[in-house]
Structure formats: structure tokens, C-alpha cells
């Protein structure tokens, strides 16, 4: 009996000594859980702010595209625009990234200029790496389909050019593609880029043929 009592006293003493450690572990666990909760709440707040910022930026981009689209369409209707190309595709299917300041189609009144300058190294006939041709415009026609895509077609005739040009603008933007169909050969060329009002353009016109 005496031995049993002694054993119980030892066990009780051990439990008493372990209690502070258990309490400390519980406190540490609660602290870690609280920190995790705090971190989660902070992350959720940051994500909410990030999504709000993206939404605001998206709205601003849509507004900018809408304004640019309105300006582009108005410039086309006024025959006062420039398609600044950032890539040119040739008949053989090769596409070349180009400088938009030296590759363009411009319309000012009844005068049109087509400049293709794919080379940044050779001067070319126009002095800026390619060819520049200009002529008088005829048959200027604008159409809009049910989806809001604007189509423009016209003819250009001059000393170095006799071609039909077709241009279309992506709805809600100023992005466009133009196709130049020469009348006397099959050297069709495509230009992709942005339509801007003539006075807002930064293109550099080389020497015409």
C-alpha cells in the first residue's frame, strides 16, 4: 500500500511539472494559429486590392481603345489619316517586323502615300530602306458591317503606283490591316498597325519614285 501511494505521488508531481509546458505549447499553438489567420486576412486584402487595380486598368484601357477607335474612324471618314505599320507581310508569306515611322500608308485629301521600308541597313530608293510611292485617290468607299468593323477601299494612281488598297479596322480599337493590290503585277503586300489622325502621326516620308 505504501508503495502504491508513493507511485501515485510521483505521477502527480510529474503531471504538475508538465502542466506549464503543456500550457506553453497550447499558447504557442494559439499564437501560430492567430498569426496564420492574420496572414490569410492580409493576403485576401492584398488580392482584393490587386483585382480592383486590374479592373480599373482594364476599364482605362477599354476607354483609351474606344477613344482611339473613334478618332481613327473619324480620320478615315475625313480622308486625313495614317496607318502606321509595325509588321509587313509579303506575297511569299514572310512577315517582317518594321519601324512604324518608316512603314505606312497615309491619306491626306486626295493624295495617298505608300511607303515600305523593311530594311534598317540599306538606304533603298527612298533613302530610308525601301520604296515610297504616291498618287491620286479615286473610288474612296467606306462600309461598316453588323459587327462594327469598318472597311475602306480606294484606288491610287501615280508615277510609281497603280493599286487598289483595302483597309479594315478592328471594332472598338484603332488596330487595322491594309492590303495593297498592284494593278500590273501580283506583288500584293499586307500592312498591320495602328490608324491615327494625320496630324498625330510621327512617320518620316522618304523620297518618292
Domain that holds residue 58: 1-209
**What is the reported pLDDT for 117?**
94
**What is the reported pLDDT for 189?**
97
**What is the reported pLDDT for 35?**
80
**What is the reported pLDDT for 173?**
93
Q: What is the CATH number of the domain that holds 64?
A: 2.40.128.410
Write out pLDDT tens, residues 88-113: 999 999 999 999 999 999 999 999 99
pLDDT tens digit at each of 209 positions of the chain: 555 545 545 445 554 555 555 555 566 667 777 787 777 677 667 767 666 666 656 566 777 778 999 999 999 999 999 999 999 999 999 999 999 999 999 999 999 999 999 987 677 888 888 999 999 999 999 999 988 899 999 999 999 999 999 999 999 999 999 999 999 888 999 999 999 999 999 999 999 88
pTM confidence score: 0.72
Q: Number of folded domains in the chain?
A: 1
**What is the reported pLDDT for 8?**
44
Q: Name which of 168, 194, 199 is nearest 100 in CA terms.
A: 194
> Residue 191: helix, strand or coil by DSSP?
strand
> Residue 174: helix, strand or coil by DSSP?
coil
- From CA 189, how far away is CA 171, in angstroms rounded? 23
Dihedral class, residue 109 (left if φ above 0, else alpha if ψ from -120 to 50, else beta)? left
**What is the reported pLDDT for 43?**
66
Amino acid at each position: 500500500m505504501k508503495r502504491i501511494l508513493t507511485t501515485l505521488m510521483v505521477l502527480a508531481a510529474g503531471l504538475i511539472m508538465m502542466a506549464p509546458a503543456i500550457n506553453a505549447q497550447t499558447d504557442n499553438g494559439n499564437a501560430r494559429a492567430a498569426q496564420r489567420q492574420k496572414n490569410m486576412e492580409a493576403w485576401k486584402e492584398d488580392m482584393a486590392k490587386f483585382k480592383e487595380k486590374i479592373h480599373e486598368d482594364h476599364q482605362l484601357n477599354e476607354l483609351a481603345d474606344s477613344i482611339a477607335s473613334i478618332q481613327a474612324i473619324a480620320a478615315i471618314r475625313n480622308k486625313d489619316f495614317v496607318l502606321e505599320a509595325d509588321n509587313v507581310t509579303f506575297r511569299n508569306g514572310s512577315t517582317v517586323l518594321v519601324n512604324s515611322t518608316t512603314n505606312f500608308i497615309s491619306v491626306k485629301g486626295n493624295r495617298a502615300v505608300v511607303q515600305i521600308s523593311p530594311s534598317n541597313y540599306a538606304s533603298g530608293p527612298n533613302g530610308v530602306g525601301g520604296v515610297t510611292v504616291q498618287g491620286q485617290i479615286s473610288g474612296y468607299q467606306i462600309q461598316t458591317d453588323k459587327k462594327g468593323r469598318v472597311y475602306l477601299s480606294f484606288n491610287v494612281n501615280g508615277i510609281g503606283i497603280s493599286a487598289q488598297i483595302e483597309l479594315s479596322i478592328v471594332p472598338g480599337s484603332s488596330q487595322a490591316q491594309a492590303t495593297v493590290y498592284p494593278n500590273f503585277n501580283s506583288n500584293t503586300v499586307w500592312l498591320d498597325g495602328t490608324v491615327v489622325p494625320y496630324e498625330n502621326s510621327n512617320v518620316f516620308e522618304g523620297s518618292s519614285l
